[in-house]
Amino acid sequence: MTPNSAERQPLKLVIVGDSAFAEVAYEYFTVDSSYEVVAFAVESAYLKRTELFGLPVVALESLPTLFPAHEYAFYVATVYTQLNRLRTRLYSQMKAWGYAPASYVSSRAAVWRNVTLGEHCFIFENNVVQPFCGIGDNVVLWSGNHIGHHSKIGDNCFIASHAVISGFVEIGRNCFVGVNATFANNLQLGEDCIIGAGALLTKNVPADHVVRGGSADAVPGAKRLHRVKE
């Protein structure tokens, strides 16, 4: 569950992306994991530079030739663009090419021993993930969140900082949860939802809805808001 264990030998890692999150991911993987970041990769249409932190930035399309899949792991360091579709697409592409997905779990996060943690996750410092929780694949938990006991977070979600998710909450796939959002116990959040900063949820929310900060009222159209094209 913790591929960043200091007991393992360093593994070579390619970070997909060169944005601010990519820079942050580089720092965490370098300082607090057994991974050695060796390169960054960006789709050729968005390739604007050739070097970052003294490492090469290469076209994603050339990656299988330059950095063969059997020798390197990957992490896609993009945020919640298109309700997480961009990160999910690149993650799926890298797996299809045979690369192994890397995860990062901060040494300063409190993740209980029986938490089920999927692959390709990034869990920042000061997250508390309580017993019997389940975290899906391709999930980002930014710093300082509370994930209450028996709660489930679906694949491809992005939880921003200082969200409080109480016990027995189920969050569907592809959701975004903003800073300081609060979930009461025993709630279900459908897939493809956006929960705004400071929102208070006291009732279930259907799929593809937006809950704006300071309001528990959900309105449809989360995928439209993020210009998701299926």
**Would the CA dihedral through 181, 187, 191, 192 be positive or negative?**
negative
Q: How far apart are CA 28 and CA 114, in angstroms?
A: 24
Pairing of strands 51-52, 55-59: antiparallel
- pLDDT tens for each residue of 85-98: 999 999 999 999 99
Q: Mean pLDDT over residues 112-121, rounded?
A: 98
CB 60 within 8 A of CB 46: no
Q: Mean pLDDT over residues 184-191, rounded?
A: 98
Write b or e for each residue in 173-191: b if 16 or more Cβ atoms lie within 10 A of its Cβ, otherwise e.
Answer: bbbbbbbbbbbbeebebbb
For the whole model, what pTM was predicted? 0.90
Q: Mean pLDDT over residues 175-186, rounded?
A: 98
| DSSP structural state of residue 153 | E
Q: How many CB atoms lie within 10 A of CB 23?
A: 15
- Whole-number pLDDT of residue 213: 87
- Whole-number pLDDT of residue 56: 98
Pairing of strands 164-165, 146-147: parallel
- Whole-number pLDDT of residue 216: 54
Work out the pLDDT band at 7, boundaries 50, 70, 90: very low
